[in-house]
Amino acid sequence: MADNTSIDIIHSRGYESDPNLESPSDLDKPQESAPLDTESKYEQDVPPDGGYGWVCVACVFWINAHTWGINSSYGVFLSYYLSHDVFPNTSALSYAFTGGLSISCALLVAPVATYLIHVFGTRLTLNLGVFFETLSLIGSSFATQRWHIFLSQGVCFGWGMGFLFVGSVGIIPQWFSRRRSLAMGINAAGSGLGGLMYSLAVGAIIPRLGLPWAFRILGIIACVVNLVCANLLRDRNQAVGSRHQAFALPLLKRPEFLLFLGWGVFSMLGYVALLFSVANFALSVGLTSHQGSVVSALLNLGQGLGRPFVGMFSDRLGRINIATFLTFLCGLFCLVIWTFARSMGVVCFFAVLVGTVAGTYWATVTPVLAEIIGLRDLPSGLSITWLVLVPPCTVSEAIALLLRDNHARDSVYLRVQIFTGFMYIGGSLCLWLVRGWKIADLAQTAAGKSLAGSSPPTGVKEAPEESKIEKAAAGTDPQATGRGAPKMSLWSPIGLLRGMVSLQRV
């Protein structure tokens, strides 16, 4: 009687058609049910596209303002270091290395931060970042030798910025779908606004209160703001089923991901050189130190104003489309406008204009990568991305200073300007190839659907759309790839070229 009841229960639950289920006891195996539960959560999850997500947007905005924004003011510090010989026997190259070191260290700790999020959660990682950043700024105020600055303003600040950035950058995409790029653009605008505020503030504080108090004031403000925002943030890692792998090496086998990394490398070689050189460039054309800090502030103003619009147009016209076009446009501005800027008016015009597109990478990196590898693998992909960006961020400003021609009276920065412009153009070419792959991938997926028919085979549940696209991109879904079409056909020269010139929203 008990056996018949068990069989009836199994039949009523629809398990009689499963050949892999041998007995009722198989229903209680946690090692099999857990993965299915995570998978179903991912498939059924619908981002709220608002609600508490907007609180998270505000928090990440202000975290960016008090991490990347403060770091953007290093151009003002650099100009002061070079003109006042603050630390004797320190070369201009050493000062430039400090600015790049902060960004590279922020990216270098990305795998560690990703691991800590997986083990201890997002909140502890964010608060660890608050601690290191505060320690770095307060410690910089007591620096008396150049190695003090290397460790405090370079390494320690980079660690704090890295833990805060990696801990917060993946949260917003979990809360938004249709408005994802707009939300990310607002977040990225925080660094521009912070750079504007603190470039002007540092330029005003140093002459009045001195260099040490400039660091202490920044440290106190950053500690308070970041501490509040870090503890208001909420992630949706459980609902999304995020996979936090520090080194997801299979991603490196995908050509589209490698080209995405190339976009980042070229963009950072141009971005860091532009960001930290513009204040000192102003001095090279006869402007004052105060005017140099104003130019740096206007560059950050452009970033603050431009990034939300970058996100808004990305949602409407395609994330890869906008990222490719604006990256190319930034390189064009450097070659066409910056090389001819000599007066205060033209320099300010260039600073505001190029600022709107200079940080396109930071405004679009997360949505673009989500389009390429999917939302679940986003944390792992970002972890590799930040690590790959360490070398270009470290050497970019050093390269810019070495390219300066101090013997040329009117064109000290000409080679720097050409270098920056071509780096941005090289990055846009990498992403343009990714665009060709994406359009070919979508076309192949649509062709596979039409061949497979409108309904799945009996007893087989149809996979969600995003899962199909991910499988097609990896070449593991025979239906989505057109009944056995080889995955490398996505990279055939003719198909790739057709996708690159196609007027399609991607």
pLDDT mean by block of 10 residues, the chain; 506 residues = 42 40 38 47 67 91 92 82 79 77 86 85 93 94 86 92 89 82 84 85 89 93 95 79 67 92 95 86 84 84 84 86 95 94 92 91 88 82 87 86 80 91 96 92 79 54 45 43 49 84 85
- The answer to whether 172 touches 46, Cβ cutoff 8 Å, is no
The closest alpha carbon to 175, from 266, 18, 45, 270, belongs to 45
How high is the pLDDT of residue 467? 47
Q: Give the integer Cα–Cα distance in Å for 398 and 97.
A: 6
Q: Give the integer Cα–Cα distance in Å for 234 and 71.
A: 25
- The answer to whether 302 touches 196, Cβ cutoff 8 Å, is no
Helix (H, G, I), strand (E, B) or coil at 492: coil
Burial environment of residue 503 by CB neighbours within 10 A (0 to 12, 13 to 18, 19 or more)? exposed
Q: Give the integer Cα–Cα distance in Å for 137 and 426.
A: 35
Amino acid identity at 353: L
- The answer to whether 256 touches 437, Cβ cutoff 8 Å, is yes
Amino acid identity at 386: W
In this prediction the pTM is: 0.72
Query: Do 45-245 and 247-448 fold alike per CATH?
Result: yes
Q: Give the integer Cα–Cα distance in Å for 360 and 323.
A: 6
The closest alpha carbon to 191, from 367, 359, 368, belongs to 359
Tell me what percent of the residues of the chain surpass a pLDDT of 70. 81
Q: Give the integer Cα–Cα distance in Å for 62 and 56.
A: 10
Q: Give the integer Cα–Cα distance in Å for 505 and 491.
A: 19
Q: Give the integer Cα–Cα distance in Å for 233 and 490.
A: 40
How high is the pLDDT of residue 26? 38
Residue 143: CB partners within 8 Å, gap ≥ 6?
A: 87, 149, 152, 153
Q: Give the integer Cα–Cα distance in Å for 475 and 447.
A: 14
How high is the pLDDT of residue 42? 56
**What is the residue extent of each domain of the chain?**
45-245, 247-448
Q: Give the integer Cα–Cα distance in Å for 60 and 280.
A: 30
Give, in words, the CATH class of 45-245. mainly alpha
- The answer to whether 15 touches 21, Cβ cutoff 8 Å, is yes
Count of Cβ atoms closer than 10 Å to residue 10 Cβ: 17
Residue with tokens 């947007």: 57
Residue with tokens 């049910």: 33
- The answer to whether 330 touches 359, Cβ cutoff 8 Å, is no
Kindly indicate whether the domain formed by 247-448 is annotated with CATH number 1.20.1250.20: yes
How high is the pLDDT of residue 203? 84
